[in-house]
Amino acid sequence: MVFDPSIFVTLVQQYGYFGAFIAGFLSSFTLFIPSPTFIGIFFIGGVMNPVLVGIFAALGSTLGESISYLFGFGISKAAKKKYKKTIKKIEKWFLKYKPSVVIFIFAATPLPFDIVGIVAGIVNYDKKKFLIATLTGKLVKFIFIAVAGFYLLPYLTGIF
């Protein structure tokens, strides 16, 4: 089965800012399955307020990314029992490198965020800090994409 990225464009076109929220959520709630939501956000940023499009997409994406945190938190007891030494090493590494900065960087870039979310959940990283760092990174990412659409779409479509 081939994934059709136009579903995200259609979703945002039909439902506006709420569609951007849903597209952001759908792009992030699955574990280890990337989606091309940025395409829809790029195109819609060209015809709607790009900052608002970015904000709504970031809010939805942050909510979706909390699934990876909850998954990690849910398996943490079992993982800590079975892989105690490994989990301790991961926890030590994760906490050593400023977790909020790591979370922000992974949220703001195309890096595989699910791994960071799962690790944050396993080590029981503070939920508020996790959500704030995730939202901040997603805001940077999606506002950038939407603003790029706002400025570049006229040139890509031949409308000057």
Rounded mean pLDDT for each run of 10 residues along the chain, 160 residues in total: 59 81 85 72 88 96 94 87 83 85 94 91 94 98 95 76
Rounded to whole angstroms, the Cα distance separating 154 from 6 reads 19
pLDDT at residue 28 in the model: 86
Amino acid 5: pLDDT: 56
Residue with tokens 């031949």: 158
Asked whether residue 116 is assigned to any structural domain, the reply reads yes
> Is residue 1 included in any domain, yes or no?
no
39 within some domain: yes
Residue with tokens 């942050």: 62
Residue 134 near residue 57 (C-beta atoms within 8 A) = no
Stated as kind and residue range, the H or E segment containing 155 is helix 127-156
Residue 103 lies in a domain: yes
- Token code pair at residue 65: 């990314």
Q: CA-to-CA distance for 157 and 74, rounded, in angstroms?
A: 47
What six digits make up the tokens of 84? Answer: 């105690």
Count of structural domains, the chain: 1
Backbone phi and psi for residue 4, each to the nearest 5 degrees, phi listed first:
-100, 110
So what's the pLDDT on residue 83? 83
In a domain, 97, yes or no: yes
Domain that holds residue 96: 6-156
Say which amino acid occupies 152: L
